[in-house]
Amino acid sequence: MNIDLSGRIAMVTGSTAGIGEAAAAALAASGAEVVVNGRNPESVAATAERLGGRGVTADVGTPEGADAVIEQVPDVDILVNNTGVFAAQPVFEIPDEEWLRFFHVNVLSGIRLARHYTPRMAQRGWGRVVFVSSEAAIQTPTNMVHYGMTKTAQLAVSRGMAQEVADSGVTVNCVLPGPTLSSGVLKMWADLYPGLDVAEQERRFVADGRAANSLLGRLIRPEEVAGLITYLASDQAAATTGAALSVDGGLVPTIFP
Q: Report the catalytic residues.
A: 147
Q: Please answer whether residues 173 and 244 qualify as being in contact, where contact means their C-beta atoms are separated by less than 8 angstroms.
A: yes
Strands, E assignment, 13-137: 33-38, 54-57, 78-81, 127-132
**What is the rounded distance in angstroms from the CA atom of residue 25 to the CA atom of residue 126?**
22
User: What does each C-alpha distance from 20 to 120, 177, 199 come to in angstroms?
Assistant: 23, 12, 23
User: What does each C-alpha distance from 64 to 11, 67, 68, 208, 243 come to in angstroms?
Assistant: 17, 5, 6, 41, 30
**What is the rounded distance in angstroms from the CA atom of residue 161 to the CA atom of residue 173?**
9
Which residue, among 139, 106, 131, has the nearest Cα to 251 in the 3D structure?
A: 139
**What is the rounded distance in angstroms from the CA atom of residue 84 to the CA atom of residue 121?**
24
